[in-house]
Amino acid sequence: MIAIRGAITVDDNTREEILSSARILLSEIIKSNRLEIRRIVSVIFSATNDLNRAYPAEAARELGITEAGLMCLGEMYVEGSLPKCLRVMVLAETGNERRGARHIYMKEAARLRPEYAKFFAVAVDGPAGVGKGTLAKKLAEALGFIYVDTGAMYRAVGYFCLKENISLTDSKLVENALAGMSLSVENRNSIQRVLLNGVDVTDELRAPEVSDASSKVAAIPAVREKLLITQRKTAEGNNIVMEGRDIGTRVLPDADIKIYLDADIDERARRRLKDMADMGVRANFAEIRRNLEDRDRRDTLREHSPLKRADDAVLIDSTHMSTLQVIEAALGIIYDKTGGLYGIRDS
């Protein structure tokens, strides 16, 4: 038997908001603790006295918790306490499995027990030139999350190897070079900056030769393992939108929302051509398309953490969509997946 505690704040004292918040909290407790509903013994809710438009136990019944004992209580008032707060205690059997409880504190209730605060992660994966960076940045802005571009980390490794004249085809040389490379990322005014051996190299990482080099070093297991540690550490304790090619499958397999962004290769080549033109770089469509094909081949066929859509990722085919339509679609997915806690309703 385990006892799981949790809390969430409710935006408005309405029946819809109280039940929605109760569903979100209970769903996360069930998911995070791998609970079987039939093994839930009781659910006890308490609410501050400014929440009086609905019994949260109704949300438990909507989730199929019908055999457990359900109870709703008023929370003791303490001066200066958190307003519009819904708390819960779930008692559940775990059979013969011995495990501790994962307590869940969401939204403003995270202040009550910061060590148990629930942070949300959005994983955006997809092939080169599909617009992952644009989508992830816009989602982070809309949600108030931190944006993490893992591709920039691989570009930094590629940039380092090019600068040091290290052969990109010699995996052993690249692996040995990692010992002399310190890599970190910082978020300055919601903009990610990449520091290589203490020097900000962000602006140097978009050159075509660096992008090509990043794909080659990304196929080296030692590089991916080194950056995996940095990527996961960046995600700890933050609400984040992280984009790359193996976020949902490898870096953050337990991400709350996984989006796989795709598009026809001709459309991706056109977008890449436009991006380069906007930067004042002259390029050839056929060459860009060929480079994308090569990149796709390397990314999907590499043995270590290949590019692929996670089983639980939602596909957005953006071939015939505008940037705004893609952003709205993604925010709608996030809204649905979080029960309205984040994102916007997809209209």
The answer to whether 339 touches 23, Cβ cutoff 8 Å, is yes
The answer to whether 182 touches 277, Cβ cutoff 8 Å, is no
Q: Which of 23, 55, 85, 105 is catalytic?
A: 105
Q: Which of 5, 102, 193, 298 is catalytic?
A: 5
In the residue annotation, 272 being an active-site residue is answered as: no
In the residue annotation, 61 being an active-site residue is answered as: yes
The answer to whether 16 touches 81, Cβ cutoff 8 Å, is no
Query: What does the block give as tokens for 279?
Result: 């930067």
> E strands, the chain, where?
2-9, 40-47, 69-74, 85-92, 104-106, 121-125, 146-149, 183-188, 191-196, 199-200, 240-244, 257-262, 314-317
Q: Which of 75, 243, 267, 328 is catalytic?
A: 75
Query: How many other C-beta atoms can be found within 10 angstroms of the C-beta atom of residue 83?
Result: 13
Q: Please, which residues have CB within 8 angstroms of residue 89's CB and are 6 or more apart in sequence?
A: 3, 4, 5, 43, 44
Query: How many other C-beta atoms can be found within 10 angstroms of the C-beta atom of residue 175?
Result: 16
Distances 340 to 247, 267, 334 between C-alpha atoms, Å: 23, 32, 8
Q: Which of 55, 72, 147, 154 is catalytic?
A: 72
- Tell me the sheet residues that pair with 80: none
In the residue annotation, 155 being an active-site residue is answered as: no
* Whole-number Å distance between alpha carbons of 275 and 166: 29
Q: Please, which residues have CB within 8 angstroms of residue 54's CB and are 6 or more apart in sequence?
A: 15, 18, 19
* Whole-number Å distance between alpha carbons of 329 and 36: 32
Q: Which of 23, 28, 55, 87 is catalytic?
A: 87
Dihedral sign of CA atoms 288, 292, 221, 247 in order: positive
In the residue annotation, 5 being an active-site residue is answered as: yes
In the residue annotation, 72 being an active-site residue is answered as: yes
Q: Which of 15, 34, 53, 61 is catalytic?
A: 61
Q: Which of 39, 102, 113, 298 is catalytic?
A: 113
In the residue annotation, 34 being an active-site residue is answered as: no
* Whole-number Å distance between alpha carbons of 109 and 119: 12
In the residue annotation, 297 being an active-site residue is answered as: no
Which residues are marked as active site?
5, 61, 72, 75, 87, 105, 113
